Amino acid sequence: MTDITKPSDEPQLAIEVREMEIDDLAPVFHLGETLFTSDLYPYIYRTWDQWEVIGLYNTDPEYCLVAEVQDQLAGFILGTIINKSSWTYGYIIWLGVNPAFHRRGIADKLVDRLVERMIDDGARFMMVDTDPENAPALKFFARKGFGNMRKHVYLSMNLSKHEYYGKLIAYEREKAERQVWKRPKKRSPKA
């Protein structure tokens, strides 16, 4: 695929895209933790946590890639393949780029490499989703050829502020605080 990045006065970076390794789990998680915050994207339906990274690494390691520049984590992409009836879909679940490396072609290289792998594995359709307020991501994916945008509504509820569920949460907290772990009594040996 052709890299469609704008010419820059900055020197070209040597970007290495490779499969994620076990030693990459913590740095990828921590980068994602800074990128996918609930205050920035409060309505994202998936939550970024260590289990998301570990789970994808364990189930789909061939679709977990990292980009490095001078041995520094510049970005990552995590995906999966979905087989439904006669279609095989490639699905980009997470794409993150370290802000220090924005507009350097990191995301382009990650997406291109992942799509190539998924094509090799039979994908004939690609999917990605993002928060509707994430204009840079929408623009990026449109430039990469993703289109046919569909609106999907996710509803949320703050359980703590709900009249009934808030009381239930408070009750459960109080119950947990009342329960104190007690050491089991030793039974005397029977003679």
Q: Give the angle subtended at the CA of 35 by the CAs of 128 and 111, to the nearest 5°.
A: 35
Q: Which residues have CB under 8 Å from 38's CB, separation 6+? A: 44, 47
Distance of CA 88 to CAs 71, 85, 104, 122, Å? 34, 8, 31, 6
pTM of the full structure: 0.73
Of 48, 82, 80, 41, the residue nearest 63 (C-alpha): 80
**Range list of β-strands (E), the chain:** 15-19, 64-69, 72-84, 87-97, 125-128
Cβ contact 19:62 at 8 Å: yes
Cβ contact 118:79 at 8 Å: yes
Burial class (CB in 10 A: 0-12, 13-18, 19+), 62: middle
Domains of the chain: 15-144 (3.40.630.30)
Cβ contact 91:82 at 8 Å: yes
Give the pLDDT of residue 38.
67
Give the pLDDT of residue 30.
94
Give the pLDDT of residue 153.
67
Give the pLDDT of residue 143.
93
Low-confidence ranges of the chain (pLDDT < 50): 1-8
pLDDT tens digits, 84-118 = 888 899 999 999 999 999 999 999 999 999 999 99
pLDDT tens digits, 126-144 = 999 887 878 899 999 999 9
